[in-house]
A and B are shown apart, each in its own frame.
Chain A
Amino acid sequence: MSFLSLHDVDLSLGGTRILDAISLHVDKGEFVSILGPSGAGKSTIFRLLTGAVPLQGGTITCAGQPLHGQEASFAFMPQRDALLPWRRIIDNLTLGLEVQGIPRKDARARVTPLLADFGLEAFSTHYPAQLSGGMRQRAALLRTVVQGRAVQLLDEPFGALDALTRLQMQAWFEDRWRTSRWTTLLVTHDVREAVALSDRIYVLSPRPARVIAEMSVPLPRPRLGRPPCAAAHAIEAQLLETLLQQTGN
C-alpha cells in the first residue's frame, strides 16, 4: 500500500473538466514528479491535496486514511517564494509552525539548527528583499520542510529562477533531498528537471488532464553536478516525445 495514492480522481471547475480519472501514488521516501504541459491542471492536484478545492470524484488516501478537507499531511511550496516582505527571514521560516500554534521561541528553536544546511545562517535577520532569488527559494523550501509534514508538495519551485541559478538550486536540492529523503511530489513542465530529481514520473495530457505515461528513472544518484549519462538522455527524449505527441505538434 502506497503512502499517498489518488484513485480515479475527477474534477470540474466552473463547468470545465480539469482532471479526468487521475490515478497516481507516492511511496514513503519517494520522489515523484508530475510532468505536463502548462495549464494542464498539475497545480490543481495540489489544491485538492491541501483542501483548497473539495474532492468531487474518486478517492485519495494518505497513510491508509481517506483524505477529507483540511489535512495536516502536506507542506506546500508555491512557484514564487511568497515570502512575507515585512518579516525577517527567521520569522518567515517559522510561519507554518506559527500557524500550527507553536510558540515563537519553540518554532525558532526548530528552524535555527537547519539554517546552516540551507545556507541562510548569516541572513536570518535580513528581510526577503535583501536576498538573491536563489536564497529566497532556499528559504521558501526550508519554510516548507520545517513544518514537519509527511509529504512535500513542490509547485515548480525553480520555475521563477534564471537558468544558471536554477541549475545550481537543482543540484543543491538533490543534495539536500539525498540526506533527508522527504516524500516529495513535484509539479513541473521541465523534462530535464523531472528526470534529474525523480524516482518516478507521471506524464499528464493537456486539459482535461489524464495520466498518459508513467516512467521510472532508475539512475544512480547524485545525478546533477556531473555530465548527464546516456540513459538520462534517452528517458528525456522519450518523455519529450510523449509530451509533444499530446500537444499535437
Chain B
Amino acid sequence: MQRPVPRPPGRGLAHGVPAVLSVASAFVLWEIYVRASGISPLVLPAPSRVLGQIVENRALLWDNTVPTLRATFAGFALSLTVAFSLSVALDFMPRLRRTLFPIFVVSQTLPLVAIAPLVVLWFGFDMTPKILLVALVTFFPMLVALVDGYDATDPEIENLMRAMGASRMQVFRVARFPSAMPYFFAGLRISITYAVVAAIFAEYVGARAGLGIVILNAKNSFRSDLVLAAVVISSLLTLALFAGTALLQRYVLRWRDVEDGR
C-alpha cells in the first residue's frame, strides 16, 4: 500500500564518475601531446602550465572574477524578473502574446558581437551594459519555458478549480504556476550556462575589470596560458551555477522524485 521513497545511496556520485574520468583523460591526452610534440607554449600551453598560471595569478584572477560574478548575478536577476513578469502578463493576456512574442524572437536573432559594442557605447563602461547583455542573452529560454509550462496545466485540474469557484488568479497561483515549474527549470538550466559567457563577452568589449578584461589583456600580450587560466575559471563558475540550479530544482520539484520512485 504505502510506497516508500527510494533513493539509492550515492546514486549521484556513481553518475559523476564517468564524466570526471572522461574530462580527466582529455586533459591527460592534451598534456602528453604538448610534451611529446614540443609545441611552443605560446601556441598551446600544457594543462599543467595553465594550472600553474592559475596558482601564480590567483590574486589577479580573483580580483577580476568578482566583477564578472557581480555582473552575472545582477544580469540574471534582471532576466528572471523580466521573464517572470512578462510570462504572467502574456498568460493573462493572450492577445499580448501574439503582439509581443515576435519581438522577443527577434531579440534572440541579434548577433552579440554586433550588439555588445553598441550597448557599451550607449551605457558606458560600468555595470549597466553587462547587466543588460546578460539579461538579453538569458531571458528568452526562461520566458518560453514559463509560457509553455502554464499551458501544460492539466485541463481537468483547471475545470475542477473553476467548479470550486476559483478566480483566474487563484487558478494561476494554485495550478498553472506550479505546473510550469518543471518547464521553468529546463529553461533555467539552459539560461544559466549562457550567463557567465555573456558577462565575459560584455567585458571583453569594454570594461574596467573582469575576466573578460583578463582574457583581452592576456591575448594582446600573447599569453595563451593566462587566457586559458581565465577560461578555466569561467568554466568553473558556470559549472557551479549549473550545480546550484540542479540543487534548487531537486528541492522545488521534490514531489517528482517521489513519483519517479514508484
Contacts and interface: CB of A to CB of B under 8 A. Distances in A.
B112 to A, nearest CB: 37
Given A78-B159, A82-B156, A86-B178, A130 B165 contact: no
B163 A50 contact: yes
The A interface, classified by DSSP as helix, strand, loop or mixed, is: loop
Nearest to B171: A99
B154 interface: yes
Interface in B1-30: 1-3, 5
B258 A95 contact: no
Contacts of A100: 164-165
B166 interface: yes
B150 to A, nearest CB: 14
B157 interface: yes
Interface residues of B, number: 26
B174 A95 contact: yes
Interface stretch (A54-62, A68-76, A164-172, A221-229): A68-76
Contact of B160 (A51, A76, A129): A76
Given A84-B157, A86-B178, A123-B2, A129 B255 contact: yes
B97 to A, nearest CB: 24
Contact of B258 (A50, A52, A99, A129): A129
A99 B170 contact: yes
Interface residues of A, number: 33
Contact of A127 (B154, B156, B174, B258): B258
B255 A86 contact: yes
A100 B166 CA distance: 8
Contacts of B255: 85-87, 127, 129
A50 B159 CA distance: 10
A76 B164 contact: yes
A85 B262 CA distance: 14
A70 B174 CA distance: 19
B175 interface: yes
Interface in A123-160: 123, 126-127, 129-132, 135, 147, 153
A98 interface: yes
A82 B154 contact: yes
A230 interface: no
A74 B162 CA distance: 12
A99 B164 contact: yes
B163 A74 contact: yes
A80 B161 contact: no
Contacts of B253: 86
B181 interface: yes
A70 to B, nearest CB: 6
Contacts of A79: 156
A122 B3 CA distance: 12
A72 B262 CA distance: 38
Given A84-B178, A129-B255, A130-B2, A95 B164 contact: yes
A241 to B, nearest CB: 33
Contacts of A122: 2
Among B5, B159, B253, B262: residue with most chain A CB under 10 A: B159
A147 B90 CA distance: 32
A127 B3 CA distance: 10
A78 to B, nearest CB: 5
B171 to A, nearest CB: 9
Among all A-B residue pairs, the 5 with the closest Cβ atoms: A129-B259, A76-B163, A50-B163, A82-B156, A99-B164
Interface of A: 46, 50-52, 70, 72, 74-76, 78-80, 82, 84-87, 95-96, 98-100, 122-123, 126-127, 129-132, 135, 147, 153
